[in-house]
């Protein structure tokens, strides 16, 4: 797969969350073909480049392209809510060297300084919940809860503890939580994409459905914001609070609806 031919002049950036926003595994195909027709139209008429802004790793995202039968690649991907990649002429994904190396360096430094605090947080989670603590390569710490209600309790309970280190933050999607650095999330990553294309936040469109999309849906990072009908209440409220667009349709059909709303 390759990207579409680039627009003559880039005037718009489109940022899509993947799971729950574009992709729905129960649908066939998981991302509607109509979505790609809209991408072609908005690219031609509004000079749009588009990308996926996801919590998936880059290899997992490549699997998603194949599973969802993408006819062409996006112009960029934000993986794990923070790592930026661009495709080369052969469709291979190349890391944004300056951003990704700075991100990794700052996160490693943060977790070194927060070692004692993270032990305290883990002890609280282990003592009061049945959630699973996760540590793996590239993921210094994370949590998988048994239910969304349990994750709500965890988020509320660890917030005052984590306040001791202001740089410590986390991204949450349903029962999954990933600890990270407050300066590297979907919103700041979108801002770096905008810097790359030399555009202001007002020229950025973003749509998402879950808690880890809240930053990129902020007016500081996207001038146009939307969410599908299946979005969690916190995201729906975020979009409404800034006079964004709440779709009547769910998942990929909602993304199509949002594109037609903002780019008629």
Per-residue pLDDT tens for 62-104?
A: 999 999 999 999 999 999 999 999 999 888 999 999 999 999 9
The token pair at 136 is 């793996």
Q: Do residues 220 and 174 share a domain?
A: no
Residue 210 domain flag:
yes
| CATH number of residue 26's parent domain | 3.40.50.1000
Residue 3 lies in a domain: no
Choose the most confident range, by mean pLDDT, from 90-94, 159-163, 257-261: 257-261
Q: Could you write out the DSSP letters of every residue in 132-169?
A: EEEEETTEEEEEE-SSHHHHHHHHHHHHHHHTTSTTEE
- Tell me if 242 is assigned to some domain: yes
Based on the domain organization, do 37 and 65 belong to the same domain? yes
Residue 229, number of CB atoms within 10 A of its CB: 15
* Alpha-helical regions (H) of the chain: 33-46, 58-67, 97-113, 115-128, 148-162, 186-197, 233-241, 251-262
Report if residue 57 sits inside a domain: yes
Higher pLDDT, 141 or 214: 214
Residue 212: which of 240, 245, 193, 190 has the closest Cα?
190
Q: Say how many CA atoms lie within 13 Å of 260 toward its Cβ.
A: 14
Residue 108 is classified by DSSP as H
**Residue 92 falls within a domain, yes or no?**
no
Tally of structural domains, the chain: 2
Confidence class for position 138, pLDDT limits 50, 70, 90: low
Model pLDDT for residues 18-38, shown as the tens digit of each residue: 999 999 999 999 999 999 999
Which phi and psi angles does 91 have, rounded to 5°? 80, 15
Domain membership of residue 158 (yes or no) is yes
Say if 2 falls within a structural domain. no
Both 77 and 189 in a single domain? yes
Matching residue, tokens 């008429």: 45
Helices and strands of the chain, counted as H and E runs: 8, 12
pLDDT band at 111 (very low <50, low <70, confident <90, very high): confident
Asked if residue 194 and residue 162 are part of one domain, the reply reads no
| In a shared domain, residues 123 and 192 | no
Nearest to 38 by CA among 27, 29, 30, 50: 50
Nearest to 12 by CA among 247, 202, 221: 202
Among 136, 156, 153, smallest CA distance to 145 is for 153
Let me know if residue 142 belongs to a domain: yes
Q: Which residues of 235-256 are buried (b: 16+ CB within 10 A; e: fewer)?
A: bbebbeeeebbbbeebbbbbbb
**Which tokens in the block code for residue 135?**
């540590």
**C-beta atoms surrounding 163 within 10 Å:** 10
Query: For residue 119, what are its two tokens?
Result: 């032990």
The whole model's pTM is what? 0.91
User: Domain span at residue 166?
Assistant: 100-181
């Amino acid at each position: 797969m390759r990207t579409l031919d680039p627009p003559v002049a880039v005037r718009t950036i489109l940022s899509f969350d993947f799971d729950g926003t574009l992709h729905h595994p129960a649908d066939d195909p998981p991302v509607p073909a109509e979505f790609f027709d809209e991408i072609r139209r908005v690219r031609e008429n509004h000079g749009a480049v588009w990308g996926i802004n996801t919590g998936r790793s880059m290899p997992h995202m490549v699997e998603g392209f194949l599973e969802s039968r993408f006819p062409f690649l996006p112009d960029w991907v934000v993986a794990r809510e923070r790592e930026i990649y661009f495709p080369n002429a052969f469709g291979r994904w190349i890391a944004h060297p300056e951003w990704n190396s700075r991100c990794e360096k700052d996160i490693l430094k943060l977790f070194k300084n927060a070692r004692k605090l993270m032990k305290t947080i883990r002890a609280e989670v282990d003592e009061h919940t049945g959630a699973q603590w996760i540590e793996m390569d590239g993921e210094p710490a994370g949590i998988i809860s048994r239910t969304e209600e349990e994750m709500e309790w965890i988020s509320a309970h660890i917030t005052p503890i984590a306040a001791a280190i202001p740089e410590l933050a986390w991204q949450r999607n349903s029962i999954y939580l990933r600890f990270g650095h407050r300066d590297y999330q979907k919103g700041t990553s979108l801002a770096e994409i905008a810097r790359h294309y030399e555009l202001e936040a007002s020229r950025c469109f973003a749509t998402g459905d879950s808690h880890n999309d809240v930053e990129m849906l902020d007016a500081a990072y996207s001038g146009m914001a939307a969410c599908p009908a299946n979005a969690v209440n916190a995201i729906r409220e975020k979009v409404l609070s800034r006079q964004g667009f709440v779709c009547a349709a769910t998942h990929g059909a909602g993304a199509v609806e949002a594109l037609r709303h903002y780019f008629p």
